[in-house]
Amino acid sequence: EGKEKMALQKTVFSGPFIHSESLDKLEICPNGSIGVDESGKIAFVLKDASKEEQPSGWEQAKAVKIQGHGFFFPGFIDTHIHAPQYPNSGIFGKSTLLDWLETYTFPLESSFSDLAQAKRVYNRVVSRTLSHGTTTACYYATIHVPATNLLADICHTKGQRAFVGRVCMDRMSPDYLRDENTEQVMKATHETIDHIKKIDPAFDLITPILTPRFAPSCTNDTLTELGKLHKASGLPCQTHISENKDEIKLVHKLFPDNKSYADVYDSFGLLTEKTILAHAIHLSAEERALVKMRQAKISHCPASNTAITSGEAPVRLLLDEGLTVGLGTDVSGGYTSSMLAEAREAIFVSRHIAMREGDKVKLSVEEALYLATRGGAKVVGLEDRIGGFEVGMDWDAMMVNLASPPHEDDYNELDQSQGVVDVFGKETWDEKVAKWVYTGDDRNTSAVWVKGRLVHCRKGVTV
Ligand code: GUN
Ligand code: FE
């Protein structure tokens, strides 16, 4: 609390910086300089510091410089992650969605009635995602209000920008993990909203998000009330859609009067420009048109879609049709909490589709990084504040360092603290970025800032 309120020091970040200019183009400024003011906002951006003058009044500012091979990059935006499922990362066997939920997920989530468990896990997942450069995360918690509120506290204290959702599930859920009825769902939902209003009244860093788990796990009454609250409060909403074929069949059975899965959400007022839909793998053309008309957003979760074999989301098609797409790790359907790994997964899934459909559907490194930053910013409705380096935006950023050339023939001389990206110095900038995406990991993320505040720094790194 005290730390968070501490005034920031005006800082000039100098050295190479890279961000997305458009879906398929990165802007690379090898000799950049970015000034961040006491409120954590970007005050100036010099794309070439050798040609442009630094504004006056910044002579005394703190200086943070890139050393060796490296660059500043916008923080990643994880548009879909289940914080309580983090202990199950990598544990999914050969399950598919519905039996995965029963076998692995619901039992683990039920353990969050224990606040000590929540404290242990939520501290770990927030620290870990920050270490991967995730500056904004859209979290699903569980049905438990005290644990969900603790997740909000932990994000707030550690300084991660977050959307925190108390999960609503009053149907088709086991007795040990189910809301009693609509009244209780709404009471619990309000308790988390009220808690977040207390810790962050303007929702500057932490925002409550309405979270009907997915259509099958909510009664019609609950969906109706959540739709009303969504409209009345203007709070965002997140849910799952069209992830798995058996799930879709179940939705048709449970909602026989609705035309489609997307139509179910639409009929309850839960398909709006403030709705984040995870997966969206098997949407029909009609559903995609409806999602587009409502300006609802899509969280693409390729690692999860591969792990629990849900399918391949047709990202090129979604983008071509003008839908807004970001990336989500979907821990622990997804095995990784790293958005860098998720970007890589997005690229590889697209290449598998390309083996059938042709090169056009391949996502490039640039496109995957766009989805992880600017795309995610649009998904969470913060494209004017985060996702790139523009004057007036918040400094949500990471410092990426790539290894310097190792001492010849001596593996022991490799600087393990700088990760496994071997950069020999002859690479173009495009090649360095590709090496980072394909061979990098959290060891290359030296430091991370949210709203100008340092929220992660690797051991041995000083900034
Ligand atoms: N659908 C309903 N609940 C979940 C969940 O926890 N993870 C995923 N991937 N899909 C879901
Ligand atoms: Fe999910």
Same structural domain, 330 and 189: yes
Q: Is residue 125 part of a domain?
A: yes
ipTM attached to this prediction: 0.99
To test the pocket of ligand 1, the residue of 95, 105, 245 to mutate (highest count of ligand atoms within 8 Å of its CB) is 105
For Cα atoms 164, 168, 172, give the angle at the middle one, nearest 5 degrees.
Answer: 145
| Span 223-278, pLDDT tens digits | 999 999 999 999 999 999 999 999 999 999 999 999 999 999 999 999 999 999 99
Ligand 1: lining residues by beta carbon, under 6 Å? 82, 97, 101, 105, 213-214, 240, 243, 304, 330, 333
| Span 394-430, pLDDT tens digits | 999 999 999 766 555 555 555 555 677 888 889 999 9
Show Cβ contacts of residue 165 under 8 Å, excluding neighbours closer than 6 positions: 138, 139, 140, 141, 148, 192, 208, 209, 210, 211, 238
The residue among 379, 408, 433 that closes a domain is: 379
Q: Is residue 215 part of a domain?
A: yes
Q: Is residue 375 part of a domain?
A: yes
Contact at 8 Å (CB) between 117 and 150?
no
The residue among 379, 396, 422 that closes a domain is: 379
pLDDT band at 8 (very low <50, low <70, confident <90, very high): very high
Half-sphere exposure of 21 (CA within 13 A, CB side): 9
Query: 3-state class of 224 per DSSP?
Result: helix
Contact at 8 Å (CB) between 369 and 400?
no
Distance CA 453, CA 425 (A): 31
Inter-helix orientation angle 115-131/145-158, to 10°: 30
Q: Is residue 353 part of a domain?
A: yes
Nearest CA to ligand 1 atom 9: 333
Same structural domain, 90 and 236: yes
Amino acid at 98: L
Same structural domain, 410 and 304: no
CA of 333 to the centre of ligand 2 (A): 7
* Mean of pLDDT values over 326-352: 98
pLDDT band at 2 (very low <50, low <70, confident <90, very high): very low
**CATH code, domain with 50:** 2.30.40.10
CA of 137 to the centre of ligand 2 (A): 13
State the pLDDT at residue 414: 56
What residues flank ion ligand 2 with Cβ within 5 A? 278, 330
- Domain residue limits at 334: 76-379
Q: Which atom of ligand 1 is nearest to the CA of 85?
A: 6
Same structural domain, 29 and 98: no
To test the pocket of ligand 1, the residue of 78, 167, 306, 330 to mutate (highest count of ligand atoms within 8 Å of its CB) is 330
Q: Which atom of ligand 1 is nearest to the CA of 82?
A: 6
Kindly state the helix (H) or strand (E) to which residue 450 belongs, with its residue range.
strand 445-450
Q: For the chain, what percent of residues have pLDDT higher than 70?
A: 95
State the pLDDT at residue 235: 98
Q: Is residue 226 part of a domain?
A: yes
Same structural domain, 64 and 193: no
Q: Which atom of ligand 1 is nearest to the CA of 240?
A: 1
Rg (the chain; Cα; Å): 22
Same structural domain, 117 and 248: yes
State the pLDDT at residue 403: 79
Contact at 8 Å (CB) between 297 and 326?
yes
Q: Which atom of ligand 1 is nearest to the CA of 109?
A: 6
Q: Is residue 444 part of a domain?
A: yes
pTM, two decimals, is 0.97
| Span 101-127, pLDDT tens digits | 999 999 999 999 999 999 999 999 999
Q: Is residue 429 part of a domain?
A: yes
For Cα atoms 421, 422, 425, give the angle at the middle one, nearest 5 degrees.
Answer: 120
Same structural domain, 167 and 309: yes
Same structural domain, 345 and 215: yes
Tell me the sheet residues that pair with 140.
Answer: 82, 165
Reply yes or no: is the peptide bond before residue 332 cis, omega within 30 of 0: yes
Q: Tokens 């090898």 belong to which residue?
A: 30
The residue among 333, 352, 379 that closes a domain is: 379
CA of 241 to the centre of ligand 2 (A): 9
CA of 81 to the centre of ligand 1 (A): 10
pLDDT band at 3 (very low <50, low <70, confident <90, very high): very low
Ligand in closest contact with the CA of 104? 1
* Mean of pLDDT values over 378-402: 98
Same structural domain, 38 and 103: no
Same structural domain, 275 and 409: no
CA of 101 to the centre of ligand 1 (A): 7
State the pLDDT at residue 1: 39
Number of domains in the chain: 2
Same structural domain, 44 and 88: no
**CATH code, domain with 86:** 3.20.20.140
* 82-91, 121-130, 184-193, 422-431: the lowest-pLDDT one: 422-431
Ligand in closest contact with the CA of 333? 1
Same structural domain, 119 and 201: yes
Q: Is residue 463 part of a domain?
A: no
